[in-house]
Amino acid sequence: AQSVTQLDSQVPVFEEAPVELRCNYSSSVSVYLFWYVQYPNQGLQLLLKYLSGSTLVKSINGFEAEFNKSQTSFHLRKPSVHISDTAEYFCAVKSGGSYIPTFGRGTSLIVHP
Amino acid sequence: NAGVTQTPKFQVLKTGQSMTLQCAQDMNHEYMSWYRQDPGMGLRLIHYSVGAGITDQGEVPNGYNVSRSTTEDFPLRLLSAAPSQTSVYFCASSYAGTGGYEQYFGPGTRLTVT
């Protein structure tokens, strides 16, 4: 069974600093990779996804993630964060014949002024 | 499109009471799923469905029942509520096409069992 590890439960950072949220998964067979964001008291919404093709994928609000097959990782990065990026971020992986992605435990990004 | 809708938004139950959390989607998605979200535990899959009439258990199915009589609706039933079921519940839908099984989430139901 697929497992997804988000190595940091909480990442505090100052505004305009760069950030990386880490995600590793267990099975590398035919994976689709996702990052979701959950703002306070809201549901989850898709931030970006990797299905195939270029291993670097980007969101409209400046986040990017790179699929690294050899390291089974899909880390999320942003070169300069804003206060409004404060949220919970979830990595999810769908692999093989499964129908539903497996989610990590989430990383709380806290951006300080 | 309304997307994925969930009712109610908030609910307080006493131990032993039963209730149904409603979930509906208007995107004609094949797959639907229920998750619970607890602090430090992330999202845990309760039950899922791959089409009308077909359901299966996820990671934490005990204490919950589901059915899927139509493509649109996927209600979650708590038969005898327990304090351990206090949580935020999310319903999601997805399809196997170009979205790659991307999950579309509802706004959630916050349930408290006293």
DSSP string, A30-91: SEEEEEEEE-TTS-EEEEEEE-SS-SEEE-TTS-EEEEETTTTEEEEEESS--GGG-EEEEE
User: Which residues of A fall within a CB distance of 8 Å from B35?
Assistant: 103
- Going by pLDDT thresholds of 50, 70 and 90, the confidence category of residue A27 is confident
Q: Quick check: B51 contacting A, CB < 8 Å?
A: no
Is residue A50 pLDDT above 80, yes or no?
yes
Contact status, residue A93 vs residue A2, Cβ threshold 8 Å: yes
Is residue A53 pLDDT above 80, yes or no?
yes
List, in sequence order, every residue forming a beta bridge with B91; answer none if it has no partner.
B34
User: Which residues of A fall within a CB distance of 8 Å from B105?
Assistant: 36, 43-45
Q: Determine the Cα–Cα distance for residues B46 and B29; give it in Å rounded to an integer.
A: 19
User: Which residues of A fall within a CB distance of 8 Å from B100?
Assistant: 32, 49, 51, 94
Residue B43's pLDDT is 92
- Kindly determine whether residue A94 and residue B100, on different chains, have CB atoms separated by under 8 Å: yes
If contacts are CB pairs under 8 Å, which of residues 47-76 in chain A contact chain B? 49, 51
Q: Quick check: A90 contacting B, CB < 8 Å?
A: yes
More reliable by pLDDT, B55 or B41: B55
Residue type, A98: S
Residue A90's pLDDT is 97
Residue B94's pLDDT is 94
HSE (CB half, 13 Å, CA atoms) of B72?
6
- Going by pLDDT thresholds of 50, 70 and 90, the confidence category of residue A46 is very high
pLDDT tens column, A69-104? 999 999 999 999 999 999 999 999 998 778 889 999
The stretch B6-10 carries a mean pLDDT of: 97
Please name the residues in contact with B39: beta carbons below 8 A apart, sequence gap of 6 or more.
none
The minimum CA-CA distance between A11 and chain B, rounded to whole Å, is 14
Please name the residues in contact with A10: beta carbons below 8 A apart, sequence gap of 6 or more.
A107, A108, A110
Nearest to B83 by CA among B20, B23, B12, B34: B12
Which residue in the block uniquely carries the two structure tokens 């077909």? B54
Q: Which pair of tokens denotes residue A78?
A: 């942003």
Minimal Cα distance from A108: which residue of B?
A: B40
Is residue B35 pLDDT above 90, yes or no?
yes
- Going by pLDDT thresholds of 50, 70 and 90, the confidence category of residue B70 is very high
- Kindly determine whether residue A105 and residue B42, on different chains, have CB atoms separated by under 8 Å: yes
pLDDT tens column, B83-93? 999 999 999 99
Is residue B46 pLDDT above 80, yes or no?
yes
- Kindly determine whether residue B106 and residue A43, on different chains, have CB atoms separated by under 8 Å: yes
Question: Residue B103: in which H helix or E strand, if any?
Answer: none
DSSP B84: G
Residue B15's pLDDT is 98
